[in-house]
Chains A and B, each alone.
Chain A
Amino acid sequence: MLTGRFAAILFFCLASATLSVAQERESRAEADRQRREEKNRNLHPYEPGAFERAMHFAEEKAIFILGREGLYPKLGSLTTGSGFAYGAGFRDRDLFDNKGMIDLWAATSTRGYWATEARLTFPALAHRRLLLETWAAHREYPQEHFFGIGPDSLRSNVTSYAIRSNLFGGRAGVRPVGIVLAGGGLEYLNPRLGPGENAEVPSIEDVFTPITAPGLGESVDYLHSTAFVEVDYRQPTNARKGGWYRFDLSHFDDRTTGRYSVTRFNTDLRQFVGFLAGRRVMATRLFVSTSDTGQGEVMPFYAMPTLGGNDTLRGFREYRFRGPHAILGQVEYRWEIWSGLEGALFYDAGKVADRRADLDFTDLERDYGFGFRFNTDEAIVFRVDAGFGSKDGKHLYIVFGGIF
């Protein structure tokens, strides 16, 4: 009996509620109001997920850790073949009301290289017409490769040597017009050689002598003076069109023995032709280096231009060829796959020569290959290049940084 009454009462209540709801909702505005009222009862602040928090950290904090002012982590490479380098630095890029920047750093690498440097730069004085820069540095590269001098050096003769240098210098440049920079510089350096520390190959003195490796066993201080002209009309800096040309004349003046002075003239011509909205680029480079010594003087092997490695002949090891004269031609076809990623097909050809007369396009060492570049408009950030077709086999280069 009670149950029946209860059911009747419940029925009455629910039916009344139904009618009431129907009446309340006789307008669209009221229906919307009820939905908002319901949400209002369940408000809560937005809670980002773990991925979102990580992305925020990466974009708002981590980017400032890598590129931060003051103390910063120094990551990357010290020189070709150094391996991955890591260290710490301090920089201030808005000195003197944003006119100057100072950068001090010290780093070591996975292959035991280390270096430290202090550099003060004023990149755009006098309404961007004047560049001034000065530096002091110390470098210790314990396992640089040496295969011998000249085009016929053998891969099997690979050795290593250590080189340690202190450097102090400065340079100045003026921009008479926007695309031209001309100037000169002066640098003191005191390279000191030592046995190579690469346990997998012999040290240099085990295979070569001061005759076959001039400068070996000598300690020479140099005053290095340079005059240069640069023309740069690339668009953008990681070029899709335009050109970059540099001519520099330099003199390494042996201030210790007077027997190892060198005068060198380098020409580096880079041309970029873009097509299909600049998403395809033909990039070409011609580099020629020729050196002279005074009467009775010799050129130390460590001051000679080299070919081989991730930015010259990519089918060869670093510093595979070394000589007083060098010529290098490179052609790349670059095609954009996605924004920020390019593919590249390349062909490199070059040689070193003992005599300037041999500096021609015959008997060139050659390689070809392909690569991928992660880039921005300003630079290649990271690249992978695989070189084939050389007499030295295949080579894979993974590089933080660009190429011509």
Chain B
Amino acid sequence: MASTSTSSSAASSSGLPMLHRAAAWVVVAIALAASGRAAAPRFYADDPLWSDDDRRFDASKAVPIEDTNGYDFVVNTFTSPGERRDVRAMNVNTVDEVPDSSWFTNRIGRPAAGLTAADVARGPDTLAGVSLQGWVVSGGKSTGVQPGFRMTDPSGQLYQIEIDPPSNPELASAAEIIGTAFYHAIGYNTVDVYLADLDRSALTISERATIRDPLNGKRRRLKRSDLDLVFERAARRPDGRYRVLVSRFAPGKPLGNFRYYGTRPDDPNDIVPHEHRRELRGARVFGAWLNHDDSRGINSLDMLEASAVGGWIKHYMFDFGSILGSGTIYAQRHRPGNEYIFEHKPGWLTLATLGAYVRPWQRIDYPDVPRSIGRFESKAFDPIKWKPEYPNPAFENMRPDDAFWAARIVSRFTDEMIGAIVKKAQYSDPRATEFMTAALIERRDKVVAAWLNEVAPIVEPALTADGTLRFVNAAVEARAAEPPSTYQLQWFRFDNATAARTDVGGRQTTSDVSARAPADLLAAGEFVGVEISAAHPRHPGWARPATFYFRRAAGAWTLVGVARG
């Protein structure tokens, strides 16, 4: 007390030192406060999160963002929107997986879901099928290149009806059916799609049906002649009827499309830049597999759905008419999937050499297949070289760990599942079903082999209380690689508060998919970890280690963290 008093009196004898001392206290306090904010633990108590609560805040004030073809092309081709950075995806949980959210729901990616081939083929469908009896034409179709119109069922539910081109019957509708089922099983939000038979003579046009006039853009009443124009561009069956694709409108209020970069400034729940979302980065892998060259913002859909707080935005993948061998209104061209619409190098080379330079894709020999397939193949397909129509910021940011995540999902589609999905497209020619199934299986195998092997493909590690570690080699499991001769392991202790890692013991080598932790490692501490890599002459990517973190809880070790590469 005395010293305090002295100190005080000393301070009062000179105001400046007193001020310095106060300032010093404040600085210390602020530093402590700041450090309290910055030094967040690596793992929280609730890690890993399997669900991202991105519906919590009211997004009902959001307004539509509707990009146009030209703008989307120019912005993504001639500028670099979003952030291009080699950084881990920002929406993954601590075990490097994507939590369920308004963007994505783990379906086939979560083995516990136990999806069967029938489940996968059913996709998002909420009905066993549709019949158009009693439906009325309720409007024209004003977006997309695929001709069509809108119909309403007796309950008032709105659907979009689309037809196939005369040159390639079943082409676009099959692509939509197959694409929707795959993307839904992968985990994206998609709308229900069905195939139906349509009798043109039985169509009834609602008195309130309108169309945006294709000639002047103005909305006017829909006439029968508008439907005639649609059917003039439609493949007709020998019995005079039409096979049509019936897409159920998603519930909610349309808010335009999402972008593969940035966030919506009017959606409080949208906090992760889209170019850093794992499921959007990894969509490049799925796009390559299924040749979804139209993977771009304008083929997406945001819908505002009601909630207790007001509303939340659900993000859909949309419009699969131009995947596989389909170009929607014709067999897909040769370039899509192989080169951007505008790409400097091959263009200048072709110009300078007067065409003597030949792009590799111009030499691809496509198989002779039924017209319903379009232009599709699997022999020359190289997943690493696959490209969408123009650069996609999320795809550009895809890292080996993103690709690994996506390839793992692809690997879970069995031959039976692929066959069931293709069968759902109801090709009238059995050769088409056979070809498409075989091509997708071969492409799947190439995708899995390419991207499961870019990092050490170690998955499903389990550490028992007695220190036995077991893991799985995902590439070997998927028959995308032969086992390595040895795995290298480095155990460590982990300080969750400081993120400091302290190696324990030397490097271990094991030829098996199991190992034992050093005894003294497990004796103390809440967190331990192990870094695993492998040397494989054909897969140099296996040298990029996978690191696993375990937390001690109730006497057992629980996987709490995964990092790859």
Contacts and interface: CB of A to CB of B under 8 A. Distances in A.
A15 B40 CA distance: 16
Closest 10 CB pairs of A and B: A335-B355, A18-B36, A97-B225, A7-B22, A40-B268, A277-B334, A14-B29, A55-B71, A7-B25, A11-B29
B225 A11 contact: no
Nearest to B342: A338
Contact of B271 (A26, A35, A60): A35
B362 A277 contact: yes
B33 A17 contact: yes
B57 A40 contact: yes
Given A64-B217, A98-B226, A56 B68 contact: yes
Contacts, number: 179
Given A4-B8, A32-B271, A276-B363, A59 B70 contact: yes
Given A1-B12, A28-B49, A280-B355, A11 B25 contact: yes
A27 B44 contact: yes
A44 B26 contact: no
Nearest to B23: A7
Nearest to B226: A98
A337 B351 CA distance: 6
B327 to A, nearest CB: 11
Given A68-B216, A124-B232, A276-B363, 19 more contacts: A3-B22, A4-B21, A11-B25, A26-B44, A28-B93, A32-B52, A35-B271, A45-B266, A46-B264, A56-B71, A59-B71, A60-B68, A60-B217, A70-B216, A94-B225, A99-B225, A128-B232, A279-B334, A337-B347
B158 to A, nearest CB: 23
Contacts of A52: 71, 75
B90 to A, nearest CB: 11
A278 interface: yes
A66 to B, nearest CB: 11
A335 B63 CA distance: 45
A276 B358 contact: yes
A28 B43 CA distance: 8
A343 interface: yes
Contacts of A46: 63, 65, 264-266
Contact of B25 (A8, A22, A26, A31): A8
Contacts of A64: 215-217
A338 B26 CA distance: 64
A35 B364 CA distance: 50
A333 B224 CA distance: 45
Interface string A5-38: 0111011011101110110011111011101110
Contact of A59 (B52, B69, B358): B69
A67 interface: yes
A45 B22 CA distance: 44
A361 B248 CA distance: 65
Interface in B49-87: 49, 52-54, 56-58, 61-63, 65, 68-71, 74-75
B225 A93 contact: no
Contacts of A97: 223-225, 228
Place the interface of chain A in its size category.
35 or more
Interface in B215-271: 215-217, 223-226, 228-229, 232, 264-271
B149 to A, nearest CB: 14
Given A11-B29, A55-B68, A277-B334, A39 B268 contact: yes
A125 interface: no
A277 B361 contact: yes
Contact of A68 (B37, B40, B215, B269): B215
12 contacts: A4-B21, A8-B25, A27-B45, A36-B56, A39-B57, A55-B74, A97-B223, A98-B225, A128-B232, A276-B362, A277-B361, A345-B354
Contacts of B61: 43, 45
Most interface-central of B18, B71, B335 (chain A CB within 10 A): B71
A19 B32 CA distance: 10
A206 interface: no
Contacts of B343: 338
Contacts of A154: none
A336 B69 CA distance: 22
A297 interface: no
Contacts of A17: 33, 36
Nearest to A16: B33
B520 interface: no
A31 B52 CA distance: 11
A52 B256 CA distance: 15
B21 A343 contact: no
Contacts of A403: none
Nearest to B4: A4
Contacts of B217: 60-61, 64, 68
A46 B267 CA distance: 10
Given A98-B228, A279-B362, A10 B29 contact: yes
A343 B213 CA distance: 36
Contacts of A68: 215-217
A29 B69 CA distance: 38
Contacts of B57: 36-37, 39-40
B19 interface: yes
B350 interface: yes
A152 interface: no
B265 A45 contact: yes
B354 A18 contact: no
Contacts of A22: 36
B37 A21 contact: yes
B11 interface: yes
B408 to A, nearest CB: 23
A351 B266 CA distance: 69
B118 interface: no
B269 A36 contact: yes
Nearest to B213: A69
Contact of A69 (B63, B215, B361): B215
Interface in B260-306: 264-271
Given A21-B36, A45-B266, A52-B71, A6 B22 contact: yes
Nearest to B363: A276
A59 B18 CA distance: 69
A37 B354 CA distance: 59
Nearest to A11: B29
Nearest to A372: B351
Given A7-B25, A14-B32, A29 B46 contact: yes
Interface string A153-182: 000000000000000000000000000000
Given A33-B53, A64-B216, A93-B215, A11 B8 contact: no
A30 to B, nearest CB: 8
B341 interface: yes
A164 B481 CA distance: 80
B28 interface: yes
A295 interface: no
